[in-house]
Structure 1
């Protein structure tokens, strides 16, 4: 099976402020905020939801085809994709734009201030799902608003089952948008905060949401994940990371596991555990695409963590 992964590609600029934001922000001056933070440490990482999902699914041996729009500055990322053996056939360059850029500053209390420039993502609707051949499953992950709407519609019209993953794109959509996504999608995956936003925006109950898809997958951070199908609720345990270095991108790694399980007709108990382990492996490394493993190594750790095989 080939997975078409629709979503963003971005450069993540990750900076560390060796102090606390609260020490430099005057509460009575919030209305006229003008602050500058010295950040002696900075990393530039390859990121974006489609990029991250494709990277981890590729490590598992999945047949991945990302679809995204990128800018004229993409060359280093393109070289990385080539090194990883990930196709760029449907990664479209917008010459007049930058690739999406995230600027993330973290203080000593793990508070974050993030600025995001969407750049070429705003043109993602110009890519067409039907241009990709041989696709059997898909995912609509955070991207340009129009792109997410169009790609969900195109998956549905083409009869290709897909995961709807609104993620940080949730605020872009209103009640009607989200209800339409739910009608079109085969599976919905959200974290617990996004789930509450979904319910608040639509006025639906969790049971009503779950009834419209084959499975509703809710991640709950350190409490693991819940998979709700029409037949049962399945609780997926969290895998305790060997070392917590960077949670950024854990959700994308988790979604790679969902796709892998669906592509290989695995049951939800196994699929959820694969996803959970991938999230843990990611958190053990800085950046969203610096974790690495062979399939044999992954299966060995899976057996060790869960006392089962797949």
Structure 2
């Protein structure tokens, strides 16, 4: 199966603040907010939702097709993708733009403050869903690109995951309703779920009744997979260290895609996704963890006391 991963490819500048944001922000002064955080740790990483999901799915032995628009500065990222044998057939260079850039500051509570320059990502709508796709995702991307690609998946009868992430504020309640009604699956974290419900006026049951599964992650508390008939409770896989939460959601989604591609039930797919998140959080950045499929299966068996086919 070939999974088309529609979303951003970006350069991430990741900074770690060795304190707590909540101690530096005065609640009664947020209307005149002016804060500065000293960040002794700084890294430049390859990232973006499409790139991250594709990298993780490739580790599991999948065949991801990341699709996105990038800028004139993409050469180093292209070389990285080639090194890891990730398909670049659907990566389009916009010569007059820069590749999307994310500036992420994380505190000791794993809270994050992000500034994002979309750059070439705003041209995502210049590409169309290609033939030969059996599964897709709509992850944060240019607004028009997300709308058009969801429509194209739906019209072609291609099942897809709606994964709005940090792109959710771009859409009204009516637009979000249309995404959900077109999608086969919806994947959000608990904060994004509250935003989705608030904007649409729907309940969790309303969303779950319209898709095959609503997947909601709850950080260290695991995740819930809501289907029209049952809720699956997925435990959080134990991480050897809590180094960097950036990209954990993308790693989790790669695990979901792998399970869907192999026809696994939600109990198994959810646990594969959970373990993917654990691998990600143990290393700084979003594409620096490594494992073989055999190593992954061995750790999965130790963690969950059973193997997967």
| TM-score, normalisation: structure 1 | 0.94
Q: Secondary structure at the match of 1:217?
A: strand
For the pair 1:186 / 2:184, whether they are aligned, the reply is yes
| Number of the residue aligned with 2:98 | 98
For 1:232 and 1:34, how far apart are their aligned partners in 2? 47
CA spacing shift, 1:120–1:303, aligned 2, 3 Å = same
Q: Given the superposition, is the C-alpha separation of residues 32 and 209 from structure 1 closer, same or farther in structure 2, using an over 3 Å criterion?
A: closer
2:132 to 117, 128, 134: 134
Instruction: State the Cα RMSD in Å.
Output: 1.9
Q: Which residues in structure 2 correspond to 1:142-221 (within 5 Å)?
A: 142-221=140-219
Instruction: Summarize deviations over 1:206-247 as a string: whole Å, max 9, x none.
Output: 111100001111111111111111221111111121111001
CA apart distance, 1:249: 0.5
Secondary structure in structure 2 of the residue aligned to 1:218: strand
Instruction: Note if contact 2:110-2:245 (Cα within 8 Å) is conserved in structure 1.
Output: no
Residues 203/18 of structure 1: CA separation in 2 closer, same or farther (3 Å cut)? closer
Q: 1: CA distance between counterparts of 2:109 and 2:174?
A: 38
Equivalent residue for 1:299, pick from 286, 293, 297: 297
Q: Equivalents in 2 of 1:55, 1:117: separation in Å?
A: 22
TM-score (norm 2): 0.94
SS at match of 1:279: helix
Unaligned stretches of 5+ in structure 1? none
Which secondary structure does the structure 1 equivalent of 2:296 belong to? helix
Q: List per-residue Cα deviations over 1:165-188 (Å, max 9, x = no partner).
A: 011111111111011001100011
How many angstroms does 1:106 deviate by? Answer: 3.5
Match of 1:249 in 2: 247
Distance in 1 separating the partners of 2:22 and 2:261: 47
Relative distance call for 1:109 and 1:253 in structure 2 (3 A) is: closer
Cα distance, 1:37 vs. partner? 4.7
1:233-290 C-alpha deviation (Å, 9 max, x unpaired): 1111111211110011110000001100110111111111100110111111110000
Give the drift of 1:292: 0.7
Note the C-alpha offset of 1:114: 2.2
